[in-house]
Structure 1
Amino acid sequence: MLSLRKGRYVSRLAETAADIRAAQELRTLAFRNGDAAALDQDQFDPLCKHFLVEDARTGDLVCCFRLLPLRGGAEINQSYSAQYYELSALQDFAGPMVEMGRFCIHPDHRDPDILRVAWGAMTRFVDETGVEMLFGCSSFKGTEADAYMDAFALLKEKHLAPKRFLPRIKAPNVFRFAQKLRRAKPDAKRAMLGMPPLLRTYLLMGGWVSDHAVVDRDLNTLHVFTGLEIKAIPAARKRLLRMVAG
Structure 2
Amino acid sequence: MQTSIIQADVRAASGKLVLSMASTPEELREVQRLRYKVFIDTMGLSALQNADGLDSDEFDEHCDHLIVRDADSLMVVGTYRLLSANRARKLGRLYSEGEFDLGRLNNIRGRIVEAGRACIHPDYRGGSVIMLLWSGLAEYMRRENAEFLVGCASISLADGGHNAVAVYQQLIAKNLAPIEYRVTPHLPFPFSKLEAAQKPQVPALLKGYMRSGAWICGDPAWDPDFESADLFLLMPLANLDSRYARHYGVGEQQAA
TM range (shorter): 0.7 to 0.9
Amino acid in the other structure paired with 2:39: F
Q: By how many angstroms is 1:99 displaced? A: 0.4
In 2, Cα distance between the equivalents of 1:20 and 1:133?
Answer: 25
> Is the 1:86–1:170 Cα contact (8 Å) retained in structure 2?
yes
Amino acid in the other structure paired with 2:213: G
- Give the SS at the match of 1:32: helix
Of 216-225 and 129-138, more deviation after overlay is shown by 216-225
- Say yes or no: does 1:49 pair with 2:49: no
In 2, Cα distance between the equivalents of 1:92 and 1:243?
Answer: 33
In 2, Cα distance between the equivalents of 1:142 and 1:32?
Answer: 14
- Say yes or no: does 1:3 pair with 2:7: yes
The partner residue of 1:221 within 222, 228, 234 is 228
- Structure 2 match to 1:97: 112
- Structure 2 match to 1:124: 139
- Structure 1 match to 2:174: 158
The partner residue of 1:19 within 5, 8, 27 is 27
Of 130-139 and 195-204, more deviation after overlay is shown by 195-204
TM-score by length of 1: 0.85
- Give the SS at the match of 1:108: helix
Of 116-125 and 67-76, more deviation after overlay is shown by 67-76
- Say yes or no: does 1:242 pair with 2:256: no
> Is the 1:90–1:165 Cα contact (8 Å) retained in structure 2?
yes
The partner residue of 1:110 within 107, 114, 125 is 125
Distance 1:180 1:153, change over 3 A: farther
- Say yes or no: does 1:85 pair with 2:114: no
Of 129-138 and 91-100, more deviation after overlay is shown by 91-100
Amino acid in the other structure paired with 2:9: R
* Unmatched 5+ stretches in structure 2: 43-48
> Is the 1:75–1:91 Cα contact (8 Å) retained in structure 2?
no
> Is the 2:82–2:114 Cα contact (8 Å) retained in structure 1?
yes
* Unmatched 5+ stretches in structure 1: none
In 1, Cα distance between the equivalents of 2:215 and 2:173?
Answer: 11
> Is the 1:72–1:93 Cα contact (8 Å) retained in structure 2?
no
Amino acid in the other structure paired with 1:131: A
Amino acid in the other structure paired with 1:5: D
- Structure 2 match to 1:64: 79
Distance 1:93 1:76, change over 3 A: farther
- Give the SS at the match of 2:181: coil
